[in-house]
Structure 1
Amino acid sequence: MLSLFDCMDFIDLDSDTIDVIARHDRLPAMLAAQRGSQLLADPNGIWQLHQMHRELIEQAARRGLLGQEKTLRRIYAAFSRKYPMPRQM
């Protein structure tokens, strides 16, 4: 059986972004990794990943979870550098 770390060797996402997908879509990490891999396959999916990050940042800000918001902003900055926002489809 493959572990999450084994699966991460086959996709180009870090564990932080997989966690964002898992939290946003309320999925176990393994399914979030699979979903992330599918989303990376086209520009619309990358746009959706940007939206997931933004929505979680907004939720943390609304709830006053400043530490969580700061962490999510750091994760999003790293993701954005690797995958710039494509034009919306």
Structure 2
Amino acid sequence: MLSLRDCLDFIDLDQETVDIIAEHQHLSEVVATELGNQLVANRVGLLVIHDMHRDLIAQAANRGRLSRERELRKIYERFCRKYPMPHGQL
């Protein structure tokens, strides 16, 4: 049986991004790991992950949760360095 750590080692996403997917989609970490693995495999999926990050940042800002917003922005910056926003035809 694979552990969550095993699954994370298998895919090209960090724990923070998996947590973003889990929070945004209301999924367990294991299911979010699998979803993230599928999304990161293509340009459309990368756009979806970018949108998830931005949605959670906006939610935190709208709720006045400034420390959470700053934390999410840092996580998103790291994600963007690794996976820049895809451009061109999808």
Structure 2 length-normalised TM: 0.96
Q: Which stretches in structure 2 are left out of the alignment for 5+ residues?
A: none
1:3 shift after superposition? 1.1
For the pair 1:41 / 2:36, whether they are aligned, the reply is no
Identical positions, percent: 54
1:2 shift after superposition? 1.1
Aligned to 1:75: 75
1:87 shift after superposition? 2.2
Aligned to 2:6: 6
For the pair 1:20 / 2:20, whether they are aligned, the reply is yes
Aligned to 1:53: 53
The list of structure 1 runs, each at least 4 consecutive aligned residues, that deviate by more than 2 angstroms after superposition, is: none
1:55 shift after superposition? 0.2
SS of 1:9's partner is helix
Q: Which stretches in structure 1 are left out of the alignment for 5+ residues?
A: none
Match for 2:62: what amino acid? R
